[in-house]
Amino acid sequence: MSGYQSPALSQPGLSVAEQKQERRSARRRRLVALGLVAPLLVFIFFSFVAPIASMLYRSVYNPDIVVLIPETMANLSEWDRSGTPDDKALTSMAMELRQMALDRKAGVFAAAVNRSWPGASSLVNSSARRLRSQEPDVLEKSGAQILLELDKRWSQPDLWRAIRQVGLVYTDSYYLTALDLERNPDDEIQARSSARIYIQLYGKTLALALTITALCILLGYPLAYYLAHAPRKKASVLMIFVLLPFWTSLLVRTTAWIALLQTNGVINSILISVGFLSQPIEVLYTRYATIIAMTHILLPFMILPLYSVMRSIDPAYVRAAMSLGSKPFAAFARVFLPLSLPGLGAGSLLVFIISVGYYITPALVGGTDGQMISNLIAFHMQESNNWGLAAALGTLLLVLILLLYWVYDKLVGASNIKLG
């Protein structure tokens, strides 16, 4: 039995030449369609796929240190991680510290080791400066002894374990740090003994995002309901006010909240003048400021999907329920509300996903108490230059969002969300 052929290409009335012409036309149409879609595919690749792939790769790839101390890392590969490494490893470290001092790269190595072994920064920098004046042949003969004489801390096994760990080209240390974990001297994973901030910050980020989403639902649903049932001309005018924030810079809207919420700002001044408060309250640079400002900024993302779905719901459904004896609230809860759930789900997803990764507003009005995980990711990228940890934190945030979306899809059915 012959394979399947397209009806257009296997019509018995077409000659062989006509069938070839039809195939060429179909191929030409596919190439034209691909040419039209190609710019969009290129844009998606460079703006979405490539950055995410780079982030995933960067979170486990760490070539910076092994380039600075290749000989030392090769010697440490044979070390059993108990006691001080042999003289060969100490000598290679002394020689490579000297070279890093000459190349002005000792600070990079010091900062990397200091993240795993606090105090290593001063040790590495001071040792590198003192080794700069040593002759290479002298270090080659007695570099181990010279290194130990510079500082007794070079004999501590914990320091060398940290050097060996940060020198691995492919490592899971960034993910362990992002999960508040670390490896003990026996290479077993355990809870980090120092400050544990990342898991707590992930929890606070989720709590803030859920709070903002809930507030947007409470404020956006009644407004969308009113807009959907208002006369079209009046609804169009009111919709302008909903869209008005999109015409204003995000930075301007955020700084406006700084003027409103600060101690001597507009809100405190009004409340004190009417006698509601006796002294100003501290709202700015707290998590409450983050919630208020982000709710205002993200509220249109809730209203627009709700309005789109509510506008398409036929009012006759509710009237029919009421004509059959249902009370207004019962008719709304049993008829209108279920029909509006697709818009509610779409708006909730938009607000939640955007708020989880928001950066500018928490950075400007949140202070320390209102910071989210995105602010810490930006800190590691811009100030501490720990791109590997920033990539790991971003990857975990992406996985968390995808996991929550999967749970939502299973429980509610995000695939059933349709606008209009």
By CB atoms closer than 10 A (0-12, 13-18, 19+), residue 72 is buried
pLDDT score of 153: 92
Q: Would you state the pLDDT for residue 68?
A: 92
pLDDT at 415 (0 to 100): 52
> Can you give the pLDDT at residue 382?
84
Partnered with residue 183 across adjacent β-strands are 189
Among residues 357, 399, 391, the alpha carbon closest in space to that of 375 is found at 357
Structure letter (DSSP) for residue 186: T
42 phi/psi in degrees, rounded to 5: -65, -45
Whether 89 contacts 72, CB under 8 Å: yes
Q: DSSP letter for 415, please.
A: G
Asked if 321 and 335 count as a contact pair (C-beta separation under 8 A), the reply is yes
387 to each of 202, 379, 392, how far by Cα in Å? 18, 10, 9
63 contact partners, CB below 8 Å, separation of at least 6 = 169
Distance of CA 179 to the CA centre of its chain: 15
d(CA 258, CA 236): 31
Per-residue b or e along 399-408, where b marks 16 or more CB atoms closer than 10 Å to that residue's CB:
eebeebeeee
**pLDDT at res. 342:** 87
Neighbours of 368 (CB within 10 A): 9
Over the chain (420 residues), the average pLDDT of each successive run of 10 is 47 70 86 89 89 89 90 89 89 93 91 86 92 90 90 91 89 89 79 83 92 95 92 87 84 87 85 84 88 92 93 88 87 89 90 90 86 88 85 91 84 53
- C-alpha to C-alpha distance for 414 and 408, rounded to whole angstroms: 7
Q: Are 366 and 227 in contact (CB under 8 A)?
A: no
